[in-house]
Amino acid sequence: MMRVRGASMREAGIDDGDVVLVDRAVKPSHGHVVVAVVDGEFTVKRLWKRGINLKLQAANPTYPDILPRDGQTVEVWGVVTTAIKSMRV
């Protein structure tokens, strides 16, 4: 389980403060919401993968997609299977 910080996935129904369940045994594929590690930083994004081409897509138009650059370390760490909503008042 991981707590999400930020609003980059809000249009996918994942908001700041929500908890996501991450399954590291599921093979990530195109369209999955994933937890990735980019240069040592965790991020939650939608995986776009075609052949060897990969990008991590935000579900909020105010956030840029992540397109790996030469020398950048990107590891898909696990697949998000469930989001638990925070019901803060």
Active site residues: 8, 45
How far is residue 15's CA from residue 80's CA, in Å, rounded to a whole number? 13
Burial of 6 (0-12, 13-18, 19+ CB in 10 A): middle
